[in-house]
Each structure stands twice: as C-alpha cells, then as structure tokens.
Amino acid sequence: MLTLERLGRRFPNGTEALRDASLRLQQGDFVALLGPSGCGKSTLLRLIAGLDAPDAGRIHWDGGQAPAPGEIGFVFQDATLLPWASAAENVFLPLRLRGVARGTAGPAVQAALARVGLDGFAAALPRELSGGMRMRVSIARALVSRPRLLLMDEPFAALDEFTRHGLQEDLLALWRELSCSVVFVTHSIYEACFLARRIVLMTPRPGRIVTEIESRLTASPEARLDPAYAALVADVTHALQQIPTAEGPLAPSHAAAPAWAGQGWRQDRP
C-alpha cells in the first residue's frame, strides 16, 4: 500500500523528530508504532496522513497516487467532537466537508454509528455521552467514508481500562470486517501486543524504526488469556530494553529474554 523511505523531519525550532524512518505497509496490515514519549510517533502519523511534509526521504503510495480525501481516516487521542452538534452531525462532518448532501449521507452515517454500537444515540450531544461513547463517535466519523487506511494516535489512552479493553476488541472486529489497514500509535506494550499484527519499535528522538516483531496471536478477545500473549509482551519488552540510546540501552535492565518468550518473530532493521 505504502512505503516510507528514510523519512526525516526537523521542525523550524531545530527539534529533529524523525531520522531515516522506513516502513512498508501492506493492504490489510495492522501495525502498532511503539516507542517512548517524544520519539516522533505522532509526527510519523501526520506525515502519512499528508498533514505535514518530510524534510528528507519520501512517501511512496503503491499505484503512484496518494489517497483521495476520505480514503484515510484519522482518530486522535481526544475525540475532538463539535460540542454543539449531535453524534450523527459529528459523523456526517467529513462527508459534509466534501459536499455530500445530508439526505444522501444519512444511510452511511447511520451505518457508521451502528458499526460502533451507537445506533440509539444519533441525536445525543457529546456532553450526554461517556468518554468511551465519544471515542466511538470519533471512530464512526473516521469510518464513515470507508477509508482504506485508518491512522489512530493513542485513541484509547485517556479511557479507563474496562472501556479501553472493550474498544480494543471492537476495533479488532471492525478491522476484520472492513479489511482496511490500521497504523496505531501507542505507549502501551500490552495494547500493541493485543491489537497489532506487526509491532514496530522506535528509538527515542530522533525517532528511527529499529525493530519489528510479528504477532501470531489470533485477533480475538480470547487472545488476552492466551499464554502466547504474555510471551509476546515479554518479547516486545525485551526488544525495547535492547534499543540503544545515547545514554545506553533504553531500559535500565539489559537482561536476557525469559525462556518462555520467543513466540513473536523479530526482525532487526539496519
């Protein structure tokens, strides 16, 4: 679907957020970008979305053409809903901005709300919804144009654990149903391991992609109780501990992986 070739981004204030970041994304992938705070994960997502431009390297879309508006959905950490507009109006917004008439958009808006379990809440205002429901509206808004690629920037970070688990499971179901690709930014090793088929690890700033671990877990709620999930978490934790920084390895412990780890398939990058 997309190749990122040695992307670099230095902001006008001199902050070098990314250096030589390379990644290949296939249609139908679910990739988690995992790395410490400030390592450039959001910057990388914004470059993919076309919301910012790299200073170095290039982004190559298969077929040579960047996606049309609506082919990429973006979900942020905050639900970012219009507070005065109903759930349905918020979901309609991206279609409205593209000139789609309200009447024509109605079925798509209803379907998107139903897909995230909010059929009965079309008329509700954001303040009448819980945090998890507001995030569902935000996801419905990203899905309403049936994007090929869904970019998610720590969408569940502000939610309680019960809500987060529910939304993670719903997201997996949506991903399977819609067969879109997902790039998901997170700080959480557990979240990355539960959701993603490919867990991509980044160095501290300037962010580079150093290691990738492939998950062989079944994408289902039961995976949380699978011993292979714990083993994958151990693999990723160990790989993070190995990431070199200017001050030494990223984590204080440089211990060997536990014997029961090793379910994931690891590929180090140059």
Angle between helical axes of 102-115 and 87-97 (0-180°, round to 10): 130
Total number of residues that touch ligand ATP (CB under 6 A): 14
Piece of the chain touching ligand ATP by CB under 6 A; list 34-42, 90-98, 101-109, 165-173? 34-42
Instruction: Candidates 25, 42, 87, 149: give the one binding ligand ATP (CB under 6 A).
Output: 42
Candidate segments 41-49, 95-103, 189-197, 239-247, binder of ligand ATP by CB under 6 A: 41-49
> CB-based contacts of 161: which residues, under 8 Å, 6+ apart?
none
Question: Residue 151, interface with ligand ATP (CB under 6 A)?
Answer: no
Which amino acid is present at 248? Answer: G
| Nearest Cα to Cα of residue 36 among 203, 150, 249, 168 | 203
Question: Nearer Cβ to ligand ATP, position 51 or 97?
Answer: 51
Nearest CA to 147 among 110, 118, 108?
108
Q: Is residue 164 at the binding interface for ligand ATP, with CB under 6 A as the rule? A: no
Please, what is the minimum distance in Å from the beta carbon of residue 138 to ligand ATP? 17
What are the residues facing 7 on neighbouring strands?
A: 21
User: Looking only at residues 88 through 117 of this chain, which bind ligand ATP when binding is defined by CB under 6 A?
Assistant: none
Say how far apart CA 73 and CA 64 lie, in whole Å.
20
Nearer to ligand ATP, 3 or 15 (CB): 15
Q: Tell the smallest beta-carbon distance from residue 190 to ligand ATP (Å).
A: 16
Q: Which residues pair with 21 in a beta bridge?
A: 7
Q: Does a cis peptide bond (omega within 30 degrees of 0) precede residue 94?
A: no
**Among the residue ranges 40-48, 159-167, 240-248, 250-258, the one whose residues contact ligand ATP (CB under 6 A):** 40-48
CB of 191 to ligand ATP, least distance (A): 13
37 interacts with ligand ATP by CB under 6 A = yes
Residue selected from 8, 40, 54, 155 as contacting ligand ATP according to rule CB under 6 A: 40
Phi–psi pair at 110, nearest 5 degrees: -60, -45
Question: Half-sphere exposure of residue 183, counting CA atoms within 13 Å on the CB side?
Answer: 26
Contacting ligand ATP within 188-217 (CB under 6 A): 205
Residue with tokens 């000139």: 99
Compute CA 90 distance to the chain's CA centroid, rounded to the nearest angstrom: 21
Using the rule CB under 6 A, which residue among 4, 39, 75, 233 binds ligand ATP?
A: 39
- Residue 226 is encoded by which pair of tokens? 């699978």
Q: Which residues bind ligand ATP (CB under 6 A)?
A: 11, 13, 15, 17, 35, 37-43, 187, 205
